[in-house]
Structure 1
């Protein structure tokens, strides 16, 4: 796209920081939403849980991207942390969508985060964006999260919800924890390993978001996952091959449930999610396979 002004919420997170680097490298102006007082023109004050956004700071933005939210895997899912997970996503998205809708000249696109947790446990069944939401905490959270973007859509702003899979990267997320374990020779399958993991390389995640920003006419939900989900057993084997380490330390399902509580269902559950709409829109993956994605992650420089 031509040089644009893009606002990013969640700019310090794994995906957000990579998106910012990509945009800046291509000469775009990036405005970061921050929770403290803004110190420069490229910062906008906001308080997601308090549903406050300094809307004036969004003036002139061509796109607004919302990737903010407390980490799903950061803590056990106590009732209090479930509230934190919900409020950081639903309230923040609603506040940002409303701020976008109130602008005299709104951006041409609002990209809002979501996750493949929307579908719940799909077992061996492959699902696309047409599938209904599943049951449980994560699906209900994703439904609310996506619905919170309604104000922007109703104001006529092209609105996209990105249902992101497991991002393969060293700098954070699930793989940020897996790489050290597997490098130390302590990695292995989780449960019986038959559950599907729908992954995507960090490079392709960022490229897909930029594709959705740039391509007029694209709106609604998009699955951001590689074309061929694999089982946890297959991914474990790939990790062993790429890192040249044994993968003998399987973690039984009961141990995971004891250690992680309700969050274990996200690790043991199966999500066979296909990026149907993304592929149909003309997007091309750079690292479609797990070994390619793993190698790309290993080449990342610290902080990149």
Structure 2
């Protein structure tokens, strides 16, 4: 039976794919967007395009659209790597997640017919970084800035449980898509024979194919027994060096032109830690919940993404 679903962040890399999948399978999708017209241009076929901003709650512009929906999927948030980190950008990273999530949860508390499930984006940044430790959904939070952001973000989202709404948090790794994100940005230097690892290349690279990210969201949406956090990271552990070697091999390009950590710190400040540090993140609960990965290993994943390039 088709579902009625509200989604935020629908024009982002993950949001676009998830939204189109929902529309294609016949669900009734309501897009909450800061720019409804842009959302309409990017994604055709949604039931409604509703103006939604961090301050919109005060004017009650969008609250009525939550009444009687089956699910809410919350994907919006400031791109952490959109600019060099300073105090202002770090505050935006935090506020864009906490404030919007709080506004949604507060609004859901007021609707008469509440959704069955609230699915909120999250990040493997929750675990911090480590060269030795292996993390799964039962591991404790790290102690760096991003870990603190994700912990607060999830705590805010979990409040839906007070209203008998099922909560799912999707802790997402490095999403591989040929059009956007990390892989797309790395393709150009490889094409020009200057590709290679960021930093020393020894850091763990917790990747996931875009198809599996979408698959995990749909799995969480459609299975009432799934709850709590799920790791959206492939079960294969690889380093940044291994990723670049595999990418170079498939593209028939060298992969030894390393970008030193100090250059990344000049460009991104403290945010460079995301690029030069990593973590071994295993999707234990995701697999235990019954999700079957389409791409468990990096080589077939990259071959699929690069087959028409």
TM-score between both structures, scaled by the size of structure 1? 0.93
For residue 183 of structure 1, report the CA deviation from its aligned partner.
2.3
For residue 51 of structure 1, report the CA deviation from its aligned partner.
5.0
User: Of 98, 106, 122, which residue of structure 1 is paired with 2:114?
Assistant: 106
Gaps of 5+ in 2: 41-45
Q: Does 1:45 align with 2:44?
A: no
User: Of 245, 250, 257, which residue of structure 1 is paired with 2:265?
Assistant: 257
CA contact (8 A) 2:194 2:257 kept: yes
The match for 2:245 is 237
CA contact (8 A) 2:119 2:169 kept: yes
Change (3 A) 1:36 1:191: closer
Greater alpha carbon shift after TM alignment, 62-71 vs 145-154 = 145-154
The match for 2:195 is 187
Matches within 5 A, 1:10-89: 10-36=9-35, 41-48=47-54, 51=57, 54-89=62-97
Greater alpha carbon shift after TM alignment, 63-72 vs 45-54 = 45-54
Aligned partners of 1:79, 1:152: CA distance in 2, in Å?
A: 30
Aligned partners of 1:193, 1:95: CA distance in 2, in Å?
A: 40
Aligned partners of 1:298, 1:100: CA distance in 2, in Å?
A: 42
For residue 300 of structure 1, report the CA deviation from its aligned partner.
7.6
Q: Does 1:208 align with 2:208?
A: no
Aligned partners of 1:213, 1:137: CA distance in 2, in Å?
A: 30
Count of matched residue pairs:
300
The match for 1:149 is 157
Matches within 5 A, 1:222-233: 222-233=230-241
Aligned partners of 1:173, 1:144: CA distance in 2, in Å?
A: 25
Aligned partners of 1:195, 1:50: CA distance in 2, in Å?
A: 41
Aligned partners of 1:242, 1:294: CA distance in 2, in Å?
A: 8
For residue 36 of structure 1, report the CA deviation from its aligned partner.
4.6
Q: Does the residue aligned with 2:52 lie in a helix, a strand or coil?
A: strand
Q: 1:221-259: per-residue Cα shift (whole Å, max 9, x none)?
A: 111000112100100101101111111211122222222
Q: 1:116-173: per-residue Cα shift (whole Å, max 9, x none)?
A: 0001112221110111111111000101111111331211100011100000002222
TM-score between both structures, scaled by the size of structure 2? 0.92
Aligned partners of 1:142, 1:299: CA distance in 2, in Å?
A: 35
Greater alpha carbon shift after TM alignment, 108-117 vs 174-183 = 174-183
Aligned partners of 2:100, 2:305: CA distance in 1, in Å?
A: 30
For residue 196 of structure 1, report the CA deviation from its aligned partner.
0.3
CA contact (8 A) 2:29 2:47 kept: no
For residue 48 of structure 1, report the CA deviation from its aligned partner.
2.4
Aligned partners of 2:114, 2:305: CA distance in 1, in Å?
A: 36
The match for 2:43 is none
The match for 2:2 is 3
Aligned partners of 2:183, 2:224: CA distance in 1, in Å?
A: 32
The root-mean-square deviation of aligned C-alpha atoms, in Å, is 1.9
